[in-house]
Amino acid sequence: MAKNLFRIAILVTCFALLTGCWDRRELEERTSVLAVAIDVVEGREDLYKMTVQIPIAIKIAGSSGQGGGGNSNAVKIMSVTGRTVTDAANNLQLRLNQKLFLGHTRVLAISEEVARRGIQDIMDGYRREPQIRRLMWPIIVKGEAASLLKIKPQLAQIPVVFLMDLIENGSKMGTIPDQTLGDYFVQTSNKSMEPFLNYVQASQTEVRWEGIAVFRGHKMVGAINDIQSWSLLQLRNKQRGGDVIIPLPGTKNGYVTFRPHFVKTRLDLKGQHGLASYEQHGHSATYYCELQGDIVEVTENLKMKPEEFIKKMQALIKKEMEARSSKLFTQLQKDYSSDILRLGLALRGHHYRDYWKKHDWRKDFKNFPVKAVYTIKIRRLGMEMQ
C-alpha cells in the first residue's frame, strides 16, 4: 500500500511539474500599453477614438549598444476608433501582432470634450477589467487627448514616463493632487461628494499641469486653475500647495513669495443638534488652516524692523489666502455646484440626523455657508535677515 501511494505521489508530482502555466504568456508576447487616450471622432457622435502609446523595448536607450539616440522612435503611437472603449481596443488588437496588455497602463488621458459629455461608459469597462490598476491616473486634457501621447519631452525617452514623473513629483511636493482611478471610482459612487481629475494641456514638446477638472456626476462641468487647486489641496488633503506670490502694497514692482512647508487643517462644522425647526442657516462649515512656511523672496526693501515686517507679511498672506479660498468656494458652489471638497462626507458623518437626512446635498451644497480662516506662521526668512 505504501509503495503504491509512493508511486501515486510521484505521478502526481510529475503531472504538476510537467505542465506549464495555463495562462503563460511571455513578456515579449505581449504588447504593453503605457497610456491610453480617448477622443471624439470629428463628425461622428457615436464613435470614440482611442490612441495608445506602446514602448518599443529595443529602441529604448540602454537596452541596445548604441544608446538609443533620439527619443522619437522609442514609442509607437496608434489610433483606432470604436463604438465603445472595448470595441476600439478590439479593433486595435486586429492591427497588432501580439496580445494587447493593459496591466502596465499608467495614464488614461481623456479629452475635455469627451469629459464634458460624460465618461460613465468609458469607466465601466475599466471597472470590470481586472488588469487595470486602481492606481492608474486618469487625466483630462485640454483639446485633443492624443496630443498628450504625442509630445516629445526630450527629458525622458517615453512621453508617458515624463508625464508620470510630473504627477508623481508634483504629488510628492504637494502641488499636484494624486488623483487615481480608484479615487475617481469612490468619489462617483459616494453620494456625499463629487469627483475631480487633474487637468493638463499639451503642446508639441511639453505638457503643463493646468489645475483641476471639476466633475458633477460623471460629467465635467469646469476647471479651476492652479492657484485655486492649491487652496483645495490645503483644505482638502492637508498638502502644502505651491508658493504664494503677492505684490507688495505700496511699492511699484515689489513682490513677496511665501513658501508653505507644513499645513494643518481642521474642519469645524457648526450646527444645532436635535433642533428640528432649525433650518440650514444654523449649519456652517469653517476650515481652520494653519500654514507654516518661509519667506523665500522679497524684491523690494521695505525698510522696517524685522518684527514689524513679519507681522505685516503674515497679515498680507492671510488676506491673500482667504481671498483665494473664498474664490475657490464661489467657483465650486456658484459656478459648478460640485462638492469636491468632501464636505458632504464630513457633514454626513457628524450631522447625520439634524442636517443630512433633511437636505438634498447635491442641491444644497450651492448655498451652504463655507469659509476658510487661515493662520500664517512665518518661521524663517531664508538666509537673509530681512
Q: Quote the least distance from Cβ 14 to another protein, whole Å.
A: 13
Name the pairing type of β-strands 44-55 and 75-82.
Answer: antiparallel
Name the grid cell of 357: 437626512
Q: Give the list of residues 6+ apart from residue 385 with CB closer than 8 angstroms, or none.
A: 306
Least distance to another protein, CB of residue 135, Å: 6
Report residue 380: phi and psi, to 5°.
-140, 165
Buried b (16+ CB within 10 A) or exposed e, 90-115: eebeeeeeeebbbeebbbbbbbbebb
Q: Which of 83, 191, 219, 273 binds another protein (CB under 8 A)?
A: 191
Sheet containing strand 244-247, strands side by side: 244-247, 255-270, 284-298, 370-380
Q: Which parts of 339-358 interact with another protein (CB under 8 A)?
A: 342, 345-346, 348-350, 352-353
Q: Which amino acid is at 88?
A: A
Q: Which amino acid is at 217?
A: G
Stretch 124-183 residues interacting with another protein (CB under 8 A):
127, 130, 133-135, 180, 182
Lookup result for grid cell 511636493: 173
CB of residue 116 vs another protein: minimum separation in angstroms?
24
185 near another protein (CB under 8 A): yes
Per CB under 8 A, does 22 bind another protein? yes
Nearer to another protein, 13 or 154 (CB): 13
- Cell numbers representing residue 234 in the block: 490645503
Select from 190, 272, 326, 337 the one that contacts another protein (CB under 8 A): 190
Cβ of residue 166: shortest distance to another protein, in angstroms? 18
Nearer to another protein, 237 or 292 (CB): 237
What dihedral angle (degrees, nearest 10) is formed by the CA atoms of 335, 190, 137, 219?
Answer: -40
Match 529602441 to its residue by C-alpha cell: 59
Long-range residue pairs from 360-366, CB within 8 A, at least 24 positions apart, any chain: 361/191, 361/192, 362/337, 364/280, 365/333, 365/337, 365/338, 365/339, 366/333, 366/334, 366/337
- 362 is a site residue for another protein (CB under 8 A): no
Q: Is residue 238 a contact residue for another protein (CB under 8 A)?
A: no
Grid cell in block for residue 173? 511636493
Determine, following the binding rule CB under 8 A, whether residue 26 of this chain makes contact with another protein.
no
Q: Which three cell numbers stand for residue 122?
A: 468609458
d(CA 378, CA 213): 32
Cβ-based nearer residue to another protein, 134 or 366: 134
Return the sign of the alpha-carbon dihedral for residues 373, 376, 377, 379: positive
Judged by CB under 8 A, the residue of 10, 12, 173, 304 near another protein is 12
Q: How far is the CB of 22 from another protein (least distance, A)?
A: 4
The minimum distance between CB 29 and another protein, in angstroms, equals 13
4 or 66: CB nearest another protein: 4
Nearest approach, Cβ of 271 to another protein (angstroms)?
A: 13
Task: Choose the binding region for another protein from 72-80, 212-220, 226-234, 338-346 (rule: CB under 8 A).
Answer: 338-346
Q: Is there binding between residue 9 and another protein (CB under 8 A)?
A: yes
Set of cell numbers at residue 233 = 489641496
| Residues of this chain that bind another protein (CB under 8 A) | 5, 9, 12, 16, 22-23, 127, 130, 133-135, 180, 182, 185-186, 189-191, 342, 345-346, 348-350, 352-353
